[in-house]
Amino acid sequence: MTDPKDAPLVRLAGVGKNYGNVIALRDVDLEASAGEVTCVLGDNGAGKSTLIKIVAGLHRHDLGTYEVQGEPVAFSSPRDALDRGIATVYQDLAVVPLMPVWRNFFLGSEKRKGFGRMDITFMRRTAKREMAAMGIDLRDVDQPIGTLSGGERQCVAIARAVYFGAKALVLDEPTAALGVKQAGTVLRYIVQARERGLAVIFITHNPHHAYPVGDRFLILNRGRPIGYRTKEEITREELTALMAGGAELEELAHELDAAVSGSGSRAAKELAEGADHLRKSD
């Protein structure tokens, strides 16, 4: 048996999941080690959500093995996963917009003192300190969290998970609904989490966000892995082509070329130009 000290924090081997007759996930291998970022990429319907639910303890896998620090696990709930140090930050953050930042930071885990009163001074000070340690410089932790940008709210959630003892951090499409600058902010905090020794599993559909921060890359398509590479084994262009489906793009380009040869319409020509662009970018 693998020594827990040498084992990845999270390891999936041959993991599969069925919903009735529907195969949602099959033959997935994944490792997430301390101080590394493992990126899981795929388009809608690729199986990313199912994988998140298994890692987070929301659903049990039907096939394969799931290990945490070398020990096989089968979580019954997200609380079980959290107790083992696996925290998941979902895209639709569970925050109360009108509550201050510090209140959301400790939501559900409030620090209390005599007679059950909340220790507001401690929570304010701690929230500010922990976010500063992650490189998040907030002007005022008393401001409603709803006044923060999407990227800042993601970063508060990351800092909260780190403070409450997360060893492995699962991030569900944290940059999906963000602009370029805000996405860059979140990527910077993902690197901060890695440098603090966490194992980060970064779920995304954007290879341009994944490649700069990733150490390993798992690409899913229709519930099955179509590539599992380290950064040394793949370039950004190869990662993009593998995720996009190079063969499918080439087939589309040929179809659009054929459409142009059979029609002199402006629309057909524009489609052909688009096909040529896809072929070159691939």
pLDDT digits (tens, 9 = 90+) for 133-172: 877 778 789 999 999 888 888 888 888 988 998 999 999 9
Can you give the pLDDT at residue 191?
Answer: 92
Please compute the mean of the pLDDT values over residues 43-70 and round it to a whole number. 92
pLDDT at 277 over 90: no
Residue pointed to by tokens 């997430």? 32
Distances from the Cα of 62 to the Cα of 24, 26, 65, 229, angstroms: 11, 10, 9, 25
Give the mean model confidence (pLDDT) for residues 61-70: 94
Angle formed by the axes of helices 246-261 and 266-281, nearest 10°: 150
Q: Which residues contact 107 (CB under 8 A, 6 or more apart)?
A: 94, 95, 96, 99
What residue ranges define each of the domains in the chain, with the CATH number in brackets? 10-235 (3.40.50.300), 245-282 (no CATH)
**Which is higher by pLDDT, 152 or 266?**
152
Q: Tell me, what's the pLDDT at 203?
A: 94
Question: Mean pLDDT for the chain?
Answer: 86
Q: In what order do the strands lie in the sheet with 22-32?
A: 22-32, 10-19, 63-68, 71-72
Q: Residue 115: its pLDDT value, please?
A: 86
Asked whether the beta carbons of 227 and 218 are under 8 A apart, the reply is yes
Asked if 105 and 162 count as a contact pair (C-beta separation under 8 A), the reply is no
